[in-house]
Amino acid sequence: MALLEMKKISKSFGFPALQNVDLSIDAGDRIGLIGPNGSGKTTLTNIITGLIACDDGQVIFENRDITKLSAHRRSRLGIARTFQIPQPFYSLIVRQNLYIPLRCRLKSEEAMFTEAGRLLDLVGLSDKADGLPSDLTQIEQRELELARALALSPRLLILDEVLAGLTSQEIDGALEILRVICESGVTVIMIEHIMKAVMGFCNKIVVLNSGMKIAEGMPEDIFRNPEVERAYLGE
């Protein structure tokens, strides 16, 4: 049974940003969503999470049509994401940034405190828990994005270029964390330009180009696909 199904998704911003995109994701998948800049990856994420409405098509999550559901309801169903450009809650300290999603599933402040501590520990931000997000580095802000998304205890986690700007070693560290997350039963969609990470982490790759899905398959096959090569060479 598919966890998430997208049927013939189209979205226009005056020009077609997405055209008839079909996507089916099984529970436990680690999907790599790749494509040149402007190919519609973030737009697709926005449609899955409900931040923007699609013009056409259907979004089905766990056999339920959520096309018309608001974004906060979807996040409570277990769809979480990070933002390409980190959007921390600057007015709240790092720990309290996690309280916002944690309140969806925990009642008491003590429980939230403990769980926030565990998540910050997981992404390596424990020592910054009482600081403000504005004092974090770019990379730490991305770690906060990840922790905040995980705080929803998601079924599906969409990572919008979380690895950008990391050194090779830091990428390995981050992938270690992501493997732990996957093993706990979270399905992941990873939007990424770093091929080493995509190849090492994902079991399936989807390629977008100019708003169209041009290829889908196992990592090894995708990079032998001439159409994919053309899309990337054209960049």
Ligand X SMILES: Nc1ncnc2c1ncn2[C@@H]1O[C@H](COP(=O)(O)OP(=O)(O)O)[C@@H](O)[C@H]1O
Footprint on this chain of another protein (rule: CB under 8 A): 49-51, 70-72, 75-76, 80-81, 83, 87-92, 96, 99-101, 103-104, 132, 134, 148, 151-152
Measured in degrees and rounded to the nearest 5, phi and psi for residue 28 equal: 90, -10
Residue 38 or residue 219: which is nearer to ligand X going by CB? 38
Residue 96 or residue 203: which is nearer to another protein going by CB? 96
Cα torsion through 39, 40, 41, 45, rounded to 10 = 180
Which partner, ligand X, Mg ion, another protein, none, binds residue 92 by CB below 5 to 8 Å per kind?
Answer: another protein
Whether 122 and 180 have beta carbons less than 8 Å apart is answered as yes
As a whole number of angstroms, the distance between CA 175 and CA 165 comes to 14
- Choose one: 8-16, 25-33, 34-42, 216-224; the region binding Mg ion (CB under 5 A): 34-42
Which partner, Mg ion, ligand X, another protein, none, binds residue 51 by CB below 5 to 8 Å per kind?
Answer: another protein
45 binds Mg ion (CB under 5 A): no
Residue 134 or residue 169: which is nearer to another protein going by CB? 134
Report, in Å, the least distance between residue 153 CB and ligand X.
Answer: 26
Q: What are the angstrom distances between the C-alpha of 46 and each of 61, 83, 160?
A: 15, 10, 10
Q: Which helix (H) or strand (E) holds 173?
A: helix 168-183
* Helix, strand, coil shares, percent, the chain, to 5: 40, 25, 35
Report, in Å, the least distance between residue 54 CB and ligand X.
Answer: 12
By CB under 6 A, name the binding residues for ligand X: 13, 17, 35, 37-43
Report, in Å, the least distance between residue 159 CB and another protein.
Answer: 13
As a whole number of angstroms, the distance between CA 172 and CA 22 comes to 31
Q: What are the angstrom distances between the C-alpha of 179 and each of 47, 108, 176, 184, 192?
A: 25, 30, 5, 9, 16
Which partner, ligand X, Mg ion, another protein, none, binds residue 111 by CB below 5 to 8 Å per kind?
Answer: none
Of the candidates 42, 141, 187, 209, which one interacts with Mg ion according to CB under 5 A?
A: 42
Kindly tell me the burial class for residue 54, based on how many C-beta atoms sit within 10 Å of its own C-beta (0-12, 13-18, 19 or more): buried
Give me the residues that bind Mg ion (CB under 5 A), please.
Answer: 41-42, 84
